[in-house]
């Protein structure tokens, strides 16, 4: 373990895998990064933390050659000064390799083709498939990944996809003559269950033990405290401190991120007692790809969580209800009307005043190429003369919502794609909650969202619950369920196995029921 207190800039310049010095980045009048220093040492797992919009993504895009930093910014890789901005075509030659949360795999291609993609492109017209197959098998065996190289990526589970993406990135680094480099992991675990995260972390530790530096970006502080050796925190584009992970606490890291102690949202469910409401929303014999015919209900003014391990079926529920699952079936009773979910679709769901906040924000939550104002006002065009849109009034309302939901940067003319994940989520919530829904369905609502923004999102959800909305939250974040839910329904192998309510809802109890039920049904 390196002693950062004894390291001066000269030592970092000569010995760090990557040393960024005095890095700044300006967008218009917005200083996204301001004289940031960051050193990642060989064999070190270094956490990069901060709220959404703090500059993490900007810094990573500088390393990937996508962003051009301000003059005066400096970069050293393995002791060599490298000219900025980086040429994206030279990234792999410098030993820099990236794995983002989308993993960068081609679903329609095989494991072999994805794993050896760089080499296949370099082979030109003649590809020695026998050699490529042998190489791919050797790589999988080296890292203990048990998959068939001929299987298409789309057939694999999420953790195998993540590990293939990571080992491909590592092998790209090792293919350099010196085998030195930096592996950047940008939210690689957001779609993984707890047991799968642990599998992935074993692989990451093995990689770091071989001398490769790892930059780990995540909003999950439990993961950060588990996997990293040291953390650097950015706040408003400035490096506001470093800490050795083993010498600090989770609360200490949160305080570094926020610049103050966290004021956690608290929803008091200690006196909660479940009773069916006359206007309850019922779900009967709900079926999907995994779901095997389940019944449950959600009351107005109630937040019900659904959870379970990967493959338990709880993640299908939002899309079965809204007609977005091809295998959907069952009945829903909403506003005293019975609907056949087998013939239901999202258009009908919207007409029934159901709002869905999906887990896949970039592809399903908003339209990346439209401006923030266009995204946030999409559901209320009918109130602004649709045949001759009142653009001025719509912009005023969008700006008002930006302030209300603390969206940063506060510029409704930006493209939706220019916002960080947490700020995109705020825009999506603002879009759907202008007119309180009868039923709000959330799927992993704070996935990739920083600790401060989470509390803001919880408050907005609580406000619409107090106005009588029913909320159904499908989440694998057990702490989140404890913090906001009145009831939590546990799923295993497509069936409901238990329900917790009020003071029964604890993280330990949820974990116990999820894992015990899975073991019993094996």
* pLDDT of residue 411 exceeding 80: yes
Output the pLDDT for position 384: 56
Model confidence over 318-368: pLDDT tens digits?
Answer: 999 998 877 778 999 999 999 999 999 999 999 999 999 998 877 788 888
Model confidence over 120-161: pLDDT tens digits?
Answer: 777 666 888 898 899 999 999 998 899 999 999 999 888 899
With helix as H, strand as E and coil as C, how does 410-423 read? CCCCCEHHHCCHHH
Model confidence over 462-512: pLDDT tens digits?
Answer: 999 999 999 999 998 888 999 999 999 999 999 999 999 999 999 889 988
pLDDT band at 102 (very low <50, low <70, confident <90, very high): confident
CB 296 within 8 A of CB 489: yes
Helix (H) or strand (E) holding 45, with range, is strand 45-49
Mean pLDDT taken over the chain: 88
Tell how far CA 27 is from the center of its chain: 25
Bridge pairing between strands 74-77 and 80-82: antiparallel
Output the pLDDT for position 111: 94
Model confidence over 260-300: pLDDT tens digits?
Answer: 777 767 777 767 778 889 999 999 999 998 999 999 999 99
Model confidence over 105-120: pLDDT tens digits?
Answer: 999 999 999 998 887 7
pLDDT band at 517 (very low <50, low <70, confident <90, very high): low
Output the pLDDT for position 296: 97
> Residue written as tokens 């095989």?
110
Output the pLDDT for position 126: 80
Output the pLDDT for position 100: 87
Task: Give the residues across from 23 on adjacent strands.
Answer: 36
Q: How far apart are CA 481 and CA 458, in angstroms?
A: 11
Output the pLDDT for position 378: 81
Task: Give the residues across from 238 on adjacent strands.
Answer: 235
* pLDDT of residue 382 exceeding 70: no
Q: How far apart are CA 344 and CA 97, in angstroms?
A: 44
pLDDT band at 383 (very low <50, low <70, confident <90, very high): low
Q: What are phi and psi of 248, to 5 degrees?
A: -130, 175
Output the pLDDT for position 124: 65
Output the pLDDT for position 292: 92
Q: Over range 157-181, report the average pLDDT.
A: 87
Q: Over range 304-317, report the average pLDDT.
A: 91
* pLDDT of residue 520 exceeding 60: no
Model confidence over 366-377: pLDDT tens digits?
Answer: 888 889 888 888
User: Roughly how many angstroms between the first and final C-alpha of the chain, as a whole number?
Assistant: 42
* Helix residue ranges per DSSP H, 405-506: 421-433, 451-466, 478-484
Considering only residues 3 and 493, tell me which one the structure prediction assigns the higher pLDDT.
Answer: 493
pLDDT band at 447 (very low <50, low <70, confident <90, very high): confident
CB 39 within 8 A of CB 7: yes
pLDDT band at 4 (very low <50, low <70, confident <90, very high): low
Q: For 309-398, list the strands marked E by DSSP.
A: 329-334, 337-340, 354-357
Render 173-207 in DSSP notation, one character per residue. HHTSSS---EEEEESTTTT--HHHHHHHHHHHHHH
Model confidence over 5-64: pLDDT tens digits?
Answer: 668 889 999 999 999 999 999 988 788 999 999 999 999 999 999 887 788 989 999 999
Output the pLDDT for position 304: 97
Tell how far CA 397 is from the center of its chain: 28
pLDDT band at 521 (very low <50, low <70, confident <90, very high): low
Tell me, yes or no, if the pTM score tops 0.85: no
Largest CA distance in the chain: 72
Considering only residues 197 and 442, tell me which one the structure prediction assigns the higher pLDDT.
Answer: 442
Q: Over range 384-395, report the average pLDDT.
A: 70
Q: Which domains does the chain have, with CATH numbers?
A: 4-103+179-258 (3.40.50.300), 263-353+437-522 (3.40.50.300), 367-434 (no CATH)
Tokens linked to 309: 């391990």
Total number of residues shown for the chain? 522
- For the chain, the C-alpha Rg in angstroms (whole number) is 24
Q: How far apart are CA 488 and CA 25, in angstroms?
A: 44
Output the pLDDT for position 150: 94
């Amino acid at each position: 373990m390196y002693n950062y207190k004894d390291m001066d800039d000269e030592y970092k310049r000569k010995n760090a895998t990557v040393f960024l010095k005095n890095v700044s980045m300006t967008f218009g009048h917005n200083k996204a990064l301001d004289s940031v220093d960051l050193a990642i040492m060989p064999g070190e797992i270094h956490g990069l933390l901060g709220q959404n919009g703090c500059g993490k993504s900007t810094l990573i895009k500088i390393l990937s050659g996508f962003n051009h930093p301000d003059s005066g910014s400096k970069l050293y890789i393995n002791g060599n000064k490298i000219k900025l901005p980086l040429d994206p075509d030279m990234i792999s030659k410098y030993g820099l390799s990236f794995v983002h949360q989308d993993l960068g795999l081609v679903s329609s291609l095989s494991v072999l083709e994805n794993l050896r993609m760089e080499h296949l492109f370099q082979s030109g017209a003649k590809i020695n498939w026998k050699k490529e197959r042998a190489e791919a098998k050797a790589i999988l065996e080296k890292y203990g990944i048990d998959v068939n190289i001929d299987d298409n990526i789309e057939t694999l589970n999420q953790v195998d996809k993540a590990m293939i993406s990571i080992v491909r990135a590592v092998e790209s680094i090792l293919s350099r003559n010196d085998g030195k480099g930096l592996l950047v992991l940008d939210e690689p675990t957001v779609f993984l269950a707890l047991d799968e995260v642990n599998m992935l972390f074993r692989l990451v530790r093995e990689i770091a033990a071989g001398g490769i530096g790892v930059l780990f970006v995540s909003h999950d502080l439990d993961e950060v405290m588990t996997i990293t050796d040291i953390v650097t925190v950015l706040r408003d584009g400035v490096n506001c401190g470093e800490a050795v992970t083993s010498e600090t606490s989770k609360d200490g890291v949160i305080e570094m991120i926020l610049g103050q102690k966290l004021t956690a949202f608290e929803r008091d469910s200690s006196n909660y007692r479940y009773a069916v409401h006359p206007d309850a929303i019922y779900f009967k014999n709900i079926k999907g790809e995994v779901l095997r015919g389940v019944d449950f209900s959600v009351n107005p003014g109630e937040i019900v969580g659904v959870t379970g391990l990967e493959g338990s079926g709880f993640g299908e529920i939002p899309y079965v209800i809204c007609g977005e699952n091809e295998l959907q079936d069952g009945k829903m009773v909403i506003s005293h009307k019975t609907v056949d979910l087998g013939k239901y679709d999202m258009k009908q769901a919207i007409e029934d005043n159901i709002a869905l906040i999906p887990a896949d924000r970039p592809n399903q939550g908003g339209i990346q190429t439209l401006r923030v104002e266009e995204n946030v006002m999409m559901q209320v065009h009918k109130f602004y003369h649709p045949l001759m849109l009142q653009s001025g009034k719509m912009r005023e309302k969008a700006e008002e919502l930006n302030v209300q939901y603390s969206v940063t940067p506060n510029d409704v003319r930006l493209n939706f794609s220019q916002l960080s994940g947490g700020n995109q989520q705020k825009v999506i919530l603002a879009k759907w909650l202008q007119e309180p829904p009868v039923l709000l369905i959330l799927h992993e609502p704070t996935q990739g969202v920083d600790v401060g923004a989470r509390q803001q999102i919880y408050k907005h959800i609580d406000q619409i619950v107090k106005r009588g909305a029913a909320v159904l939250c499908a989440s694998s974040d057990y702490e989140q369920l404890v913090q906001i839910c009145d009831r939590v329904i546990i799923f295993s192998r497509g069936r409901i196995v238990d329900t917790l309510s009020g003071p029964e809802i604890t993280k330990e109890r949820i974990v116990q029921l999820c894992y015990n039920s899975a073991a019993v049904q094996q």
